[in-house]
Structure 1
Amino acid sequence: MTFPTAKLLINGELVGASDGAEMDSVNPSDESLLGRAAHATATDVADAVKAGEAAWPAWHALGVDRRAEVMRTLAARIRDRKEEIARTETRDTGNLYRAMLGDVERAASRIEFYAGLGHAMTGHTYPATPNHMHLSEREPFGTVGRIVAFNHPFYFLASRVGAPLIAGNAMVLKSPDQAPLSGGIFAEICRDVLPPGVVNIMHGSGAQTGDALVRDPRVKRLGFIGSVGTARAIQRSAAEVAIKHITLELGGKNMMVVLPDADLDKAAALAVAGMNFEWQGQSCGSTSCLMLHESIHDAVLERIVARMKTINVGDPFESGSGMGPLISAAHHGKVMAAIDKGTQQGARLRVGGERPAGSAFAKGYWVAPTLFSDVDPGSALATEEIFGPVLSVVRWSTPDDVLKMDAASSLGLTASVVATDVSKAMAFARRLRVGYVWINCVGPHYTGVPYGGFKNSGVGREEGLEEILSYTDLKSITIAVPAL
C-alpha cells in the first residue's frame, strides 16, 4: 500500500529531509498508518531561513496592493482543495469532518481579511521640535517563524500566514508533529502561488525541528500556539542565542460562571457548547471549569448530564457523530490520567470517564465525554488544563468564591459569564483576569477581535490589527527643516 508523504517546502521546492528521515502519521480512530512526513533537520531549517532571507526584500518591495492580490489567490487555491484538506485533517486529527470543512473556510477567510488590512500599517508624525519633521514608519522583521498546535493544524498554519505576509515578511512554518499531513497540502499550494522562499514549511518534532527554528539568530520574530511548558522552553532556547520578539497563545483553565438569574436551559446548552466537543475538548478556549451558583446548581447540572449523554462518539466522518478520538496515544494517556486523578481526589464522576463500549472503539484513542461534579476548587480538575473532553463543575455561593479561584490561577485565557442581568455579567467580566470574555455566548473567535491571554496563558494578541502590527518593527526618522 502506498502512503502519502508530506514534503518540506524550501525555497519554492518540495523536498525530503536532508538526511532522508521521515515520521509516521497515525489515524487516531484506529491506529492505522495514514502517511508520512519528512522530518526536517537543523540543516533543513537553516536552508529554509536562508531562503526566507533572500526572498523577503523583493516580497516587501511588491507593495501592499500586490501582496494582497497574491494572498487572495492563495485563499482561492485553498478553497479549491477544501474537501481534500478537510478529509486529510479529519483522518490525521480525529476532528469531525464538518468542523474541518469550517476550519479550511475560516483559514481562507482570515487570509483575505489580512490582505484587506494592509493599508492600516500606518506610521505617525510627532510635533517634538519646530525645526524638524519627526516621523515613524513600519517595516517587516524579515524572516519570521511560526510553530502551531495540533488541534487545528491546517487552520493555524494557513490563517497565521496572513498578518506576517501582508506586512512584507517571509516565513518559516512548523506543522504539528502529531498531525502534519495537511501541512504537506499547504506546502503544495504555497509552492504554486507564492514566490520561492516567501513561505517555507517544515515538519518534525519540537525537540529537533522546532528548536532549530527557535535558535536561529536570523529569526527575530516568533509566534507560537501550544502549551505553557513548551512556550517556556521556547523562551529559554531563544534567549540563549538572541533577543527575540515572541508572542505566545497558550492554554487556559477557563471558567464559565453561571449567575443565579441565568436561564437554566440556556446555561446548560452553553456549558456543553463551550467544551468544544467537536474537537474532543482539545481547544485552548474550552470553558472546562463550570462555576454553578448554589441556588441553581442541581437544576443546571441535571440538564447538562442529560445533554452530554446524548453526544454520539463515533466515526468523525459520520454526520451523526458529535465527537471523535483524541489526537494521539500519549495525549489519550494524559487525559485518562487526569480523569483517574479526579476520581482519586474525591470528585463525583457523573458521565463518561472511560473508553466507549463496542468493537468500534477497541483500537484508537477514544474516551467518552466526561463530567465531574462536586469538584473541589483547589483540586487538579478545577485548576489544571486537561485539553480533553472533561468538564469540571464547581459550586459557588458568593462572587468572592469565583474571584479567589481566578486570582489563584496561573492561567487567564478566556471566560464566559451567563446571566439575565447583563450589568452583573459585565461586572464579573471586568474583574476576571483573562484576555477574552463571552457574555451569554461561548466559543467562536470573531474576525478582527483580538485574542490572547493574561498571566501564563500568553503574550500578545492575534486575529486583529494588533497581529499585523506585531509583525512589523517601528523605525523613527527625523528630518532637519531649516527656516526659510
Structure 2
Amino acid sequence: MNASHEEHDLSSRVAHALPRRRGHYWGGQWHEAGGARLQTHNPSTGELLAELPTAGAAEVDAAVAAAAQAFPGWARTPPLQRARALREAATRIRAHAQELALLDAADCGNPVKAMLFDAEIAATQLEYFAGLVLEIKGETIPTGNGSLNYTLRQPLGVVGRIFPFNHPFMFAAGKIAAPLAAGNTVLVKPPEQAPLSTLRLMELLADLFPPGVLNCVVGDRGTGAAIAAHPQVAAVGLIGSVGAGKAVLRAAADTLKRPLLELGGKNAMVVFPDADFERAVDGAVRGMNFTWCGQSCGSTSRLFLHASVHDRFVQALVDRIGQAHVPGIATDLRTTMGALIDRTQYQRTLGYIESARTEGAALACGGRHPADPALRNGWFIEPTVFTDVRPDMRVAREEIFGPVLSVLRWDDAESMFEAVNGTELGLTASLWTTDLLTAHRAAARVQAGYVWINDCSSHFIGAPFGGWKQSGLGREESKDELFEFTQLKNVNVSMLG
C-alpha cells in the first residue's frame, strides 16, 4: 500500500460498520438464545469477524409466533401507510449505503465499490413495491345471473425469505419489500456465511415497523428447513441452489405452503457471426460476473462462439479480462474482483478446474490462486477461461458458482441450440447478433426465463425475473412478485329479490 492507503483501503473501518447486536430479532426485541455458535469470516483475509448464535426449532417457533401475532394488524394497515414505511426504509438504506457496502465487502468478499450498487438496488426495490400497494386489487366479473361477482387479493400471512451469500444486503432489504407491501409479515434468514449486513438492516429498521412485522433468525441449513416446514409459515421465498430449492419444496409439502424459488443457472451466451465484435467481447466479460468471482446465478458461464470469430474472440476476451479483473482485497476501493465466499467454495471451484483439464479442455487463462502475497490468506482464484469445451464436460453442465468461463465452438445452429438447451437449468441467456430475425428466432428457441439480446447481466425493475426448468418457480422483481404473496378470493353477491 502507498500513501493513498487511507483513501482506498477501508478495512480499518470495518469494525465500526459491524452490527452492535449479534443475535436474532423477533417481536421487536433482540434475542441471544440459540444452539451452536456460528462463525463468519472475511473471505479476503480469513479474519474472524463475528460469532453468532444458531437458531434452532425453539427460536424459529418463537419468531414465527411473533410474526403470526403481528400479521392481522399489519394486514389491516392502510396500504399507503405501509408504503410510507417502505419508502422510509429506502431512505435509511441510502443514508447508510457506504457502511453497508463495506460490511458486505468484508463479510462476503465482493468488492466494496460493487456493493454500493447493491444498496441502491435494494432501496429502489423498496420504493418500487411501495408504489404498487394500490395495485393489490381484484376485478368484477359479469356473470350475467343477477349477481355481483368480484375478486379480492389478500395477504397470505407469515412469509419466510431465505437468501444466499453473493448479495446479502441487496437480498435482505430488497426481498422484504413485496411481502410487506402486500400486507404479510416476514421472517428472514440470512446466509450463514455472510449474515452481518442483515443484522445491521434489522438495527436500522427496528423502530420503523410494528413489533413482529419484520423478524430475523440467524442459522444454518437446519434453520432454513425449520422455517420451510413450519405450519404457521404461509409462503417461503428462496434464492439458492437447485438442491436447496428441492429441499424447501420437500419441507413445504406437508402444509402446501406457497413456494417462490429463484435457483441456479448454467447460462448460455451465444455469439453469432454478424455480432458487433467489440460489444460482444465486453458482454462476455461482463456477463460472467468476474467482479463477484462468478458467484451469480445469472452468470453466462457457457460462451458459444461461432467458428468464424472463435479464435480472434478468445484472444480479445483473455486480453480484456486481464485488463478489467485483477483479484484484490474486497474492502479496497480499487478492487475489481473479490474473493470466493469460503474454503468450501474455493476447493469446489479448483476441483472443477482440475476436472476440465482432465476431460481435455484447454486453459486459456487463470486457473490458480493469485501470486500476490497480500492475497495468500484469502479465497482467491484468478479469472479462468477454458476453450475446447464439449457440452458433455462437467464445466459445461454443472453450475460452478466460481470464476470459470467455458467456451464452446459452434458452426451448426441446430447442434448449438441443442447444446444450449441441453441442461436441466434455464435461468438466463444472452444472444449477440445484428440481425433482427436471428435475434427473435433465437430468443424464442432458448429455454430460459430471462433473455438478453445484445446485452447481459442487466436487470430492469418491473421486468419479471425467474427461471425455466429446474432454475425455479415464480417470478420476482415485478408486479408478479407482489402477487406471489397474495391469495385470490372470489365473492359472489346475489342481487335477486
TM-score category by the smaller chain? over 0.9
Residue number in structure 2 paired with 1:293: 306
Residue number in structure 1 paired with 2:11: none
AA aligned opposite 1:52: A
Does 1:252 find its partner at 2:265? yes
Residue number in structure 1 paired with 2:384: 370
What's the secondary structure of 2:25's corresponding residue?
strand
Whole-angstrom distance in 2 between the partners of 1:10 and 1:247:
23
AA aligned opposite 2:171: F
Counterpart contact for 1:250–1:453, Cα < 8 Å: yes
What's the secondary structure of 1:424's corresponding residue?
helix
- 1:35-434 equivalences under 5 Å are 35-206=50-221, 208-239=222-253, 241-310=254-323, 311-434=325-448
Residue number in structure 1 paired with 2:24: 8
Whole-angstrom distance in 2 between the partners of 1:216 and 1:398:
51
Whole-angstrom distance in 1 between the partners of 2:480 and 2:237:
13
1:448 to 432, 438, 462: 462
TM superposition shift of 1:18? 4.1
AA aligned opposite 1:78: I
Counterpart contact for 2:264–2:471, Cα < 8 Å: yes
Segments of structure 1 that go 5 or more residues without pairing to the other structure are: none
Whole-angstrom distance in 2 between the partners of 1:303 and 1:422:
25
Residue number in structure 1 paired with 2:473: 459
AA aligned opposite 2:279: K
Q: CA RMSD in A?
A: 1.4
TM superposition shift of 1:408? 2.0
What's the secondary structure of 2:207's corresponding residue?
helix
Counterpart contact for 2:89–2:205, Cα < 8 Å: yes
Whole-angstrom distance in 2 between the partners of 1:389 and 1:96:
14
TM superposition shift of 1:393? 0.2
Counterpart contact for 1:37–1:181, Cα < 8 Å: no
Counterpart contact for 1:10–1:200, Cα < 8 Å: yes
Q: After TM superposition, where is structure 1 displaced by more than 3 Å over at least 4 residues in a row?
A: 1-5
Residue number in structure 1 paired with 2:7: none
AA aligned opposite 1:195: P
Whole-angstrom distance in 2 between the partners of 1:38 and 1:84:
23
Whole-angstrom distance in 2 between the partners of 1:313 and 1:18:
37
Report the more deviating stretch, 183-192 or 265-274: 183-192
How far does the alpha carbon of each residue in 1:52-89 deviate from its partner, in whole angstroms, 9 at most, with x for none? 11111111111111100111111111122211111110
Report the more deviating stretch, 295-304 or 123-132: 123-132
AA aligned opposite 2:247: A
How far does the alpha carbon of each residue in 1:253-294 deviate from its partner, in whole angstroms, 9 at most, with x for none? 100000000122211111001011111110000001000001
Report the more deviating stretch, 396-405 or 84-93: 396-405
Counterpart contact for 1:251–1:284, Cα < 8 Å: yes
What's the secondary structure of 1:388's corresponding residue?
coil
- 1:18-33 equivalences under 5 Å are 18-19=34-35, 21-33=36-48
AA aligned opposite 1:192: D
Aligned identity (percent) is: 41
AA aligned opposite 1:174: K
How far does the alpha carbon of each residue in 1:351-373 deviate from its partner, in whole angstroms, 9 at most, with x for none? 00000013112211110000000
Counterpart contact for 1:25–1:34, Cα < 8 Å: yes
Report the more deviating stretch, 314-323 or 86-95: 314-323
Whole-angstrom distance in 1 between the partners of 2:34 and 2:403:
39
Counterpart contact for 1:22–1:39, Cα < 8 Å: yes
Whole-angstrom distance in 2 between the partners of 1:54 and 1:291:
53
Whole-angstrom distance in 2 between the partners of 1:228 and 1:6:
30
Counterpart contact for 1:6–1:185, Cα < 8 Å: no
What's the secondary structure of 1:192's corresponding residue?
coil
Counterpart contact for 2:101–2:116, Cα < 8 Å: yes
Counterpart contact for 2:298–2:457, Cα < 8 Å: yes
**TM-score of the superposed pair, with normalisation by structure 2:** 0.94
**How many residues are aligned here?**
480
TM superposition shift of 1:16? 1.0
TM superposition shift of 1:407? 3.1
Whole-angstrom distance in 2 between the partners of 1:53 and 1:287:
40
Counterpart contact for 1:7–1:187, Cα < 8 Å: no
AA aligned opposite 1:324: G
Whole-angstrom distance in 2 between the partners of 1:39 and 1:192:
24
Does 1:472 find its partner at 2:486? yes
Whole-angstrom distance in 1 between the partners of 2:292 and 2:52:
23
